[in-house]
Amino acid sequence: MTTRKYIVLGISLIVLAGGGMAIGAMLWETQALPPQPIAFNHRLHMERAQGIGCEDCHLFAPSQTYAGLPSKLLCFGCHDPHPDETDTEADARKPEFADLMAFVDADGDIPWHRVTAIRQDVFFSHRMHVTVAGLDCRACHAQIADSTRPPSRGPSHIPMATCIDCHEENGATADCVRCHR
């Protein structure tokens, strides 16, 4: 085989491998997610519940690495599972709250499924972004804040270029070892 054929073969293998990795990444990004136990409407909560913010349900975002998912007790703080008999408009009596009310007497908590994923070599802290940097959650999760149903495909990933652009715009370090460990 001539040198030229080896070069063409090498380039073809690189293109095929790159295409295979791109297709694999696309498939991984778009696999079906398990249905959430409750068809949570983020937009409704953000618009109707005056003054409610992401941190009101994702309690650990200001103080920890992982933002956390709401417990049933947190939900029942607003959606009373045991309303007064005279309250005919109580959430507990409305069919759209049946999935939530099913957890009133259930052992354990609401078994939420994570819809985001972070690569194993990436360290991400919600506290650093929410509390230290003062970023609004929508800076990274705009699509979630506007969603009326949980995502059915995923897991959701934020591209590294988006992170680097944000770091550069906000004067944060873009040093690789700060985020990659």
Residue 97 has pLDDT above 90, yes or no: yes
| Predicted confidence (pLDDT) per residue in 30-48, tens digit | 689 999 999 999 999 988 8
Name the pLDDT band for 6 (thresholds 50, 70, 90): low
Residue 21 has pLDDT above 90, yes or no: no
Contacts of residue 78, defined as CB under 8 A and 6 or more positions apart, other chains included, come to 49
Structure tokens at 83: 């309303």
Instruction: Collapse the DSSP code of 31 into the 3-class scheme (helix H, G, I; strand E, B; otherwise coil) and give the result.
Output: strand
Selection from 82, 117, 99 nearest residue 40 by Cα: 99
| Predicted confidence (pLDDT) per residue in 127-177, tens digit | 999 999 999 998 998 888 889 999 998 888 888 999 999 999 999 999 999
Neighbouring C-beta atoms of residue 99, cutoff 10 Å: 14
